[in-house]
Amino acid sequence: MQPIIGISAGRDRSDTNLQKICLIEKYSTAIIQSGAIPLIIPAGIPKSAVNEILNQVNGIMITGGGDIETNRFNGQDHTRVYGVDTDRDDLEIGLVQAADKFKKPLFGICRGIQIINVAFGGNLFTDIQDQKPDALRHDWFPDFPRDLLSHEVEFNPGSLLERITELKNMEVNSLHHQAIMNIADDLVAIAHSPDGLVEAVEKIDHPFFLGVQWHPEWLFSLESTKKIFTAFVNSTKI
């Protein structure tokens, strides 16, 4: 049987001001091409339903999107904070914590790695450019191709990503203006960009618990990316 992967979705408004559940198709396509069935989890589902969601899926993917509510991590407010959806924050933080508790495989992408860190008590740069002056440019959006390889990330020796990809580093895209500032105690940073920003985290007491700051769903043509998605899907079959 094919595993079912629950994928968190955001919300947006149409041109006629209708509320929409919003998920870029690249996420579900990557899951389908990796041998699993995507099941979309919309924002607005109450946090009380999290355990039931976990019972119905084999793994969870937390996707990219708008920023997390700043006061959830005692962050510094910034004019570039956008797209805050407190219902989505509640649901995704609940999913992360439940996936940890019940040892359910979890993969977080961009906003997803930030949700993971906040869920375990870490904090974020609310704007990299202003709060880390020596940083590379990381916000290569919206006026650039989303698969633009903008910098390298280096993997920690022996880390989950090194074992999966059999690489020491790889080139990635970069579509974010926020990032991990102080990593939560329960997490391990396993990849960094040349300016020292955390680009990936794992939880070593978990079968598969990975967050990456880049957007691998836009880089699915790369063999290293296919290996990451395949490893995630395969972990849900155990």
Residues belonging to the active site = 110, 215, 217
Taking the C-alpha atoms of residue 83 and residue 67, their distance in angstroms, rounded to an integer, is 6
CA distances from 137 to 28, 110, 151, 178, 179 (A): 28, 15, 9, 11, 12
Distance from C-alpha of 194 to C-alpha of 152, rounded to nearest angstrom = 7
Euclidean distance between CA atoms 141 and 148, whole angstroms: 10
Q: Which two tokens stand for residue 134?
A: 């020596």
φ/ψ of residue 47, rounded to 5: -60, -25
Q: Is the peptide bond before 142 cis (omega within 30 degrees of 0)?
A: yes
| Long-range contacts of 16-22, Cβ-Cβ distance < 8 Å, separation of 24 or more | 22/65
Tokens coding 136: 């590379």
